């Protein structure tokens, strides 16, 4: 019985520490990139891309900027201007943006021709790999606006890494519900 009580007490003591692991607004602001939504992009060279393709990709974000994180996937044998080409933008990290673009491109390709490749990635200005908190451009804006407007003690920001969705609310349940998909998780609290 004593052991059961100790386990229960230790479990209860551990709960506040777990809740405190999430950064608050002040900490989150030091962890995020490009509060103003500024982007940088990288064309991923591949032998299947022509010089014209590379020049076109380099101009895409100059002409019509897309929000970070994003990726553009192409089927090399279909060409850049093909209906198979897919863009995924406004994700919370590069890995999920790449995965979404590739999945959409492969679905468009329907098993015909060469497998899709990622030809362009879009990142926030000042991006560095392995940052503890990465948010899409829209979620970053929401953190600095909608999130900040909520009562300090109960505000939470939740994100869906797999879809790029996000939500803010008073408490975790409200933020997760506002995010609205199964893989939503709280990332900023307080």
Q: What does the pLDDT look like over 20-32, one tens digit per residue?
A: 589 999 999 999 9
Mean pLDDT value of segment 113-135: 93
CA-angle at 58, arms to 55 and 62, nearest 5°: 125
The model's pLDDT over 143-157, given as tens digits with 9 standing for 90+, comes to: 999 999 999 999 999
Measure the CA–CA gap between 58 and 54, rounded to whole angstroms.
Answer: 6
Helical (H) or strand (E) element with 177: helix 172-179
- Per-residue pLDDT at 4: 40
């Amino acid at each position: 019985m004593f052991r059961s009580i100790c386990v229960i007490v230790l479990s209860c003591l551990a709960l506040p520490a777990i809740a405190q692991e999430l950064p608050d607004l002040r900490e989150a602001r030091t962890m995020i990139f490009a509060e103003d939504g500024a982007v940088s992009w990288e064309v991923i060279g591949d032998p299947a891309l022509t010089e014209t393709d590379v020049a076109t990709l380099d101009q895409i974000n100059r002409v019509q900027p897309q929000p970070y994180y994003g990726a553009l996937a192409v089927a090399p044998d279909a060409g850049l201007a093909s209906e198979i080409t897919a863009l995924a933008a406004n994700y919370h990290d590069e890995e999920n943006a790449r995965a979404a673009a590739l999945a959409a491109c492969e679905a468009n390709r329907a098993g015909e021709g060469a497998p899709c490749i990622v030809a362009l990635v879009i990142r926030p200005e000042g991006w560095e790999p392995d940052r503890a908190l990465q948010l899409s451009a829209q979620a970053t804006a929401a953190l600095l606006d909608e999130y900040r407007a909520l009562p300090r003690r109960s505000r939470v920001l939740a994100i869906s890494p797999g879809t790029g969705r996000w939500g803010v609310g008073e408490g975790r349940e409200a933020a997760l519900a506002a995010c609205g998909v199964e893989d939503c998780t709280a990332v900023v609290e307080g």
